[in-house]
Amino acid sequence: MAYDPDNIFAKILRGEIPSTRVYEDDDTLAFMDIMPRADGHLLVIPKTPCRNLLDASPTQLSAVMATVQKLGHAVMAAFGAEGVTIQQFNEAAGGQEVFHLHFHVLPRHEGVRLRPPGQMGDMAAIAEQAEKIRAALG
Ligand code: 5GP
C-alpha cells in the first residue's frame, strides 16, 4: 500500500493542523493523542514518510524507538507511573486508523485499566499533561 501524504499525521508534521507537541528531534516528533486512553497518552512518529512497521526502514525504526524509550521514561516520571504500555497497529485489519507510522506511549498504574478508544479528551487537561511531560524531559 502506498503512503498517503495527506494523512492526519503528515498534516501535523507540516503544521497544517494543530497538535500539542512535547518533544522533537531531527528525525522524530512526539505529541499528545487527542483521544487519550490514559492521562499522558502520547504518540511518537518519524518525520519521514512510512505507513507503518511493515514499510519502515531500519533507520526510521531505530530513531522512533529511541524516542519511544525516552518518552516512556518521561511519562513514568511525569505521572508517577509504575509501568508503560507501548502500542502499535499495522493496516486496518491490524487496528491502524492513521496511516503514518506511530507508537502509542501510555503511562500505567497498577490496577488502572485503559479508557475505551475513540473518546475525545479535554484539551485543557491534555495541555496540562503535556506540560508535565516537557518538565520531566528537562
Ligand atoms: P491507530 O492508527 O493507532 O489505531 O489510532 C490513531 C490514533 O491517533 C488514535 O489514538 C487517535 O486518538 C489519534 N488521533 C487521530 N486523529 C488525531 C489528531 O488529529 N490529532 C491527534 N493528536 N491524535 C489523533
Q: Give the rounded percent of residues in the chain with a pLDDT score beyond 70.
A: 100
93: confidence class by pLDDT, cuts 50, 70, 90: very high
With a 6 Å cutoff on the Cβ, whether 33 touches ligand 1 is: yes
Residues tagged active-site: 102
* Choice from 4, 32, 33, 123 to test ligand 1 binding pocket (greatest atom count within 8 A of CB): 33
Cβ–ligand 1 distance for 89 under 6 Å, the answer yes
Of the pLDDT bands very low, low, confident and very high (cuts 50, 70, 90), residue 4 is: very high
Do 24 and 64 contact (CB within 8 A), yes or no? no
Q: Which domains does the chain have, with CATH numbers?
A: 8-137 (3.30.428.10)
Tell me what the mean pLDDT of segment 19-32 comes to. Answer: 98
Map grid coordinates 487519550 to a residue: 36
**This prediction's pTM:** 0.98
Q: Please give, one letter per residue, the 3-state secondary structure of the chain.
A: CCCCCCCHHHHHHCCCCCCCEEEECCCEEEEECCCCCCCCCEEEEECCCCCCCCCCCHHHHHHHHHHHHHHHHHHHHHHCCCEEEEECCCCHHHCCCCCCCCEEEEEECCCCCCCCCCCCCCHHHHHHHHHHHHHHHC
Give the pLDDT score at 128: 98
Confirm or reject: Cβ of 31 under 6 Å from ligand 1: yes
Mean pLDDT in the chain? 98
Supply the pLDDT for residue 78.
98
